[in-house]
Structure 1
Amino acid sequence: MNALFEDFDEIGELAEALDDPSPGARIMAVIELADSADPAAIPHLARAIADEAPGVRKQAALALTDFDGPETAAALVSALTDSDPSVVEAAAISLTELKDPASGDAILPHLGDNDTVKLRACLAGIKELRRPEAMGPAITALQHADAGVRIEAVGVIGWLQDEGSLPALRDAAKDSDTQVRRTALAALGFSNSEHAEATLIKGLEDPEWIVRESAAETLAKTGHETCVSMLRAALDDEYWQVRVKAVRSLGKLKATQAAIEIAPMMDVPVPNLRKECAAVLGEMAVPETLPFLEKYKDDPDPDVRKNVRWALGKMGVK
């Protein structure tokens, strides 16, 4: 056996099948190398990423999901320029599974890449690695023409949780793309600054409900009671999804003064909203809300019933 594999007999034998003339046999070799969970398989899977058959390359990219580290990241980054879109997609997915911060060494040099698909994938891949060096390129990427790139750039900035990035996130919250604005508002949750809160409050007025929903949810993370009045106003939003988040945030902020406004929302024909209202009213335990809870203790929705009865128990009613 080749000396290269003398310490890894099983891996070496599996790797030999990567030279089989049959693509099917090479795919099986890739699968078995992945199943070994042995880091010694990484260089062989990296070699398979350059196989002549797209099916083998795709399987190798998927197989690398089970591994980590700079060598894995480098192989996946190389696959982002593959001629087959399915290989690129598989590599992009596997990149997001990396957890070792050292993997970022292979990704950082590509955060200014001109290839939009590659740039988007590299931003997504480095996000959870929390590499501070990614902040500058991510802020630059907020100016990219592709909304998908801007969304991933916001994600990188949000994960780094640096107060110095607030101006960039505030600008992103005014982006022309709905999903960029939504992601930017969610990213502001790490900060309890007045600037972050002001941006989130402004988000409650966004023309798109999914942006307002994100703002209503994230406001609870600021820890400021100054936003209570705006969240109370959001209880009248035309979209129940926004109202659910407003109710939840008011509960987290322990805004008991809003209980009397939340209680009538038990009458809405949306089980998810009734369920959330019941849970929050139980936490607030304001006696004036008891009639609304008692009315729904036999609600047809089991989750609503469960929360209502729990809330009544919290308030001493059996």
Structure 2
Amino acid sequence: MPISDPFEDFGDVAELARGLDANDPAVRRVAVLALAETADPEAVPALARAAADADPDVRRQAALSLGGFDGPETAAALAGALVDPDRAVAAAAAESLTELKDASAGRSLLPLAGHADAFVRAAALRALRSLRLPEALGPAVAALGDAEPAVRAQGVGVIAYLKREETLPSLIAAARDGDADVRRAAVGGLAFSHHASAVEAMAGALRDPDWSVRETAAEALGRAGTSESAEVLIAALADTTWQVRQKALRSLGRLKARRAVPTVIAALSDEMASLRKEAAAALGEIADPAARAGLEGLASDSDPDVRKTARWALERLAA
């Protein structure tokens, strides 16, 4: 297999761009690929032109290729491709938009958060999320009233990434949404706050009928880092779904909750190796000498990862 030379000259951008004028769409598509391979920001105008090509395959390839670039010009081209009548082109643009890192690029997306098409609204909000653009807060809050759950979930994502205390009422309300995906996003988004109302909402989500929401709540309570969460997390160790129990164990370890030690020790005998390992890790984080006998009992465990984690935990107790 040939080794790629990082200093290889992929060709002059202007020369490669001339391929976009060919009559054959296959040739134009190859030109798009060649332009993308240069990784030269000067290729962005040519790729933006290709994103408006008459052929949908060329437009789709251009939208995909723009994902390797950043900045306002890239965002503007992808915003145009996002509303393309061909759904494959729009889907490619939506994926590439998630690669944007330049916050100034987000300004091309703000108007699309109110677009008539729910797919466009959701994709625009999804791209705005990681850009943490303060101006996106208004459209994101408005999205919480959208008829489409996917749009509401992406609106929650934008709000959560901004991590503003004044948005807590909106996130708490979204944690009671009728759609599980929206509730899960909201509960996870609350983890940035130590406010009592946020902790109460996350704790309440441990009783959600959807196990994935409960799992997110168990993890979020550990990330929020409040010792008051220990009691509800201990109770979550009796959840019927193992994923919830696993995250509860991890969070109890993160919180170094000594009051949880007896219940966590009981989890060392769980039939699932992954939960025995998680319990051992939690006891190592808590580092309570009362866990020594239980951890020593894992010396002959059938799972090597459990044995390794137990040894690590015992070293933590001895430190």
> Could you state the TM-score of these two structures normalised by the residue count of structure 1?
0.94
Q: 1:231 aligns with which of 233, 236, 240?
A: 233
Counterpart-to-counterpart distance in 1, 2:52 and 2:287: 63
Q: Does residue 178 of structure 2 align to residue 176 of structure 1?
A: yes
CA contact (8 A) 1:69 1:100 kept: yes
Note the 1:1-318 alignment, pairs <5 A. Answer: 10-316=12-318
Cα deviation digits, residues 89-128 of structure 1 (max 9, x gap): 1100000110001101111122211111111110011111
Cα displacement (A) at 1:299? 2.4
CA contact (8 A) 2:29 2:58 kept: yes
CA contact (8 A) 1:193 1:222 kept: no
Counterpart-to-counterpart distance in 2, 1:118 and 1:304: 46
Give 1:113's aligned amino acid.
Answer: H
Cα displacement (A) at 1:203? 0.6
Counterpart-to-counterpart distance in 2, 1:96 and 1:308: 40
Cα deviation digits, residues 167-215 of structure 1 (max 9, x gap): 1001100000011101100001111111110111111111111111111
Cα deviation digits, residues 60-115 of structure 1 (max 9, x gap): 00100111111111111111122222111110000011000110111112221111
CA root-mean-square deviation: 1.4
Cα displacement (A) at 1:313? 2.3
CA contact (8 A) 2:254 2:285 kept: no
Q: Structure 1 residues 115-124 or 280-289, which shifts more?
A: 280-289
Which structure 2 segments of 5+ residues have no match? Answer: 1-10
Counterpart-to-counterpart distance in 2, 1:119 and 1:179: 17
Cα displacement (A) at 1:287? 2.7
Give 1:210's aligned amino acid.
Answer: S
Cα displacement (A) at 1:281? 0.9
Number of equivalent positions: 309
SS of corresponding position for 2:301: coil
Give 2:258's aligned amino acid.
Answer: T
Cα displacement (A) at 1:271? 1.8
> Could you state the TM-score of these two structures normalised by the residue count of structure 2?
0.94
SS of corresponding position for 2:12: helix
Cα deviation digits, residues 28-66 of structure 1 (max 9, x gap): 111111111111111110010111221111110010011
Could you say which residue in structure 2 is the equivalent of 1:3? none
Cα displacement (A) at 1:264? 1.2
SS of corresponding position for 1:124: helix
SS of corresponding position for 1:61: helix
SS of corresponding position for 1:128: helix
Aligned-residue sequence identity (percent) comes to 49
Counterpart-to-counterpart distance in 2, 1:187 and 1:260: 31
SS of corresponding position for 2:161: helix
SS of corresponding position for 1:204: helix
Could you say which residue in structure 2 is the equivalent of 1:4? none
Could you say which residue in structure 2 is the equivalent of 1:6? none
